[in-house]
């Protein structure tokens, strides 16, 4: 193989691994309430569909870069998803298993779309227009993302409070996307105080609203 091709391929794999930690958290959180026999299905289906969509988005990255407010919209989507994952604690008996599986798959796919913008843009730049590199790099990264989600799921089962930590990570990522929006560069560029304030507001807002919602729900049940 061409050394330049291999170097670019390794670069793409590294980018996807480095930026894919949040996605592994989403996969773990989205599948945590599923019965054991459905978790692997949700992980593989959700991750597979997400990777296919990410390949398509990466191929279209040149056009996506021209869409204004792309990062802002994705950030808002991720704020909502992080909140939903935090408060989604319905008992399995009240939801049909099929619906659980479908919801988990949809959450994984939509979250990956929202969170994968950084990945898409970085990978598109590293590939220099080579579609083969894009597809090969993402396919190789799939097992790594799946493995990461299972490790996180293992700890979530034993330490339920880690769900809040996961939601905070997602909220932090959402804040980063919003403050990276080019349309708002005059507000956030070279202004760390505003950036930190908005980031803290989003993270604390998600955590507090989720905690209040969960407390209200538990009080209502009691």
Candidate from 31-45, 47-61, 139-153, 157-171 with smallest mean pLDDT: 139-153
**% of the chain with per-residue pLDDT over 70:** 74
pLDDT of residue 64: 63
Whether 208 shows a pLDDT value over 90: the answer reads: yes
d(C-alpha 150, C-alpha 122), whole Å: 25
Query: pLDDT by residue (tens digit) across 69-103?
Result: 877 887 888 888 888 878 855 443 332 333 467 77
Mean of pLDDT values over 177-203 = 89
- Residue by residue, DSSP assigns the chain as --HHHHHHHHHHHHHHHHH-HHHHHHHHHHHTTS-HHHHHHHHHHHHHHHHHHHHHHHHTHHHHTTSTTHHHHHHHHHHHHHHHHHH----GGGS-HHHHHHHHHHHHHHHHHHHTHHHHHHHHHHHTT-HHHHHHHHHHHHHHHHHHHHHHHHHHHH-TTHHHHHHHHHHHHHHHHHHT-GGGHHHHTT-HHHHHHHHHHHHHHHHHHHHHHHHHHHHHH-
Whether 185 shows a pLDDT value over 50: the answer reads: yes
pLDDT of residue 21: 60
pLDDT of residue 138: 72
Whether 116 shows a pLDDT value over 70: the answer reads: no
Whether 184 shows a pLDDT value over 80: the answer reads: yes
**% of the chain with per-residue pLDDT over 90:** 8
Whether 4 shows a pLDDT value over 60: the answer reads: yes
Global pTM reads 0.63
Phi, psi of 32 (to 5 degrees): -70, -25
Whether 20 shows a pLDDT value over 70: the answer reads: no
Which of 14-18, 134-138, 187-191 shows the highest mean pLDDT? 187-191
Whether 128 and 8 have beta carbons less than 8 Å apart is answered as yes
Query: pLDDT by residue (tens digit) across 21-51?
Result: 666 677 777 777 788 778 778 878 887 787 7
pLDDT of residue 200: 96
Whether 65 and 131 have beta carbons less than 8 Å apart is answered as no
Angle at CA 172, nearest 5°, toward 118 and 71? 40
pLDDT of residue 74: 78
Whether 15 shows a pLDDT value over 70: the answer reads: no
Chain-wide mean pLDDT for the chain? Answer: 76
């Amino acid at each position: 193989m061409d050394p330049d091709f291999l170097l670019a391929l390794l670069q793409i794999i590294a980018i996807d691994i480095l930026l894919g930690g949040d996605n592994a958290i989403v996969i773990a959180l989205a599948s945590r309430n599923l019965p054991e026999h459905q978790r692997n299905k949700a992980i593989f289906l959700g991750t597979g569909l997400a990777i296919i969509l990410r390949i398509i988005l990466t191929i279209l990255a040149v056009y996506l870069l021209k869409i204004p407010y792309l990062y802002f919209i994705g950030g808002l989507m991720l704020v909502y998803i992080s909140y939903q994952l935090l408060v989604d604690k319905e008992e399995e008996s009240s939801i049909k298993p099929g619906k659980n599986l479908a919801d988990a798959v949809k959450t994984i796919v939509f979250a990956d779309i929202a969170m994968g913008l950084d990945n898409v843009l970085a990978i598109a730049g590293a590939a220099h227009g080579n579609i083969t590199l894009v597809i090969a790099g993402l396919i190789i990264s799939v097992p790594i993302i799946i493995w990461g989600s299972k490790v996180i799921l293992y700890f979530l089962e034993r330490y339920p409070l880690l769900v809040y930590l996961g939601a905070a990570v997602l909220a932090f990522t959402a804040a980063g996307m919003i403050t990276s929006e080019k349309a708002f560069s005059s507000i956030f560029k070279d202004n760390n105080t505003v950036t930190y304030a908005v980031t803290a507001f989003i993270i604390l807002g998600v955590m507090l609203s989720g905690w209040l919602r969960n407390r209200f729900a538990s009080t209502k049940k009691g």
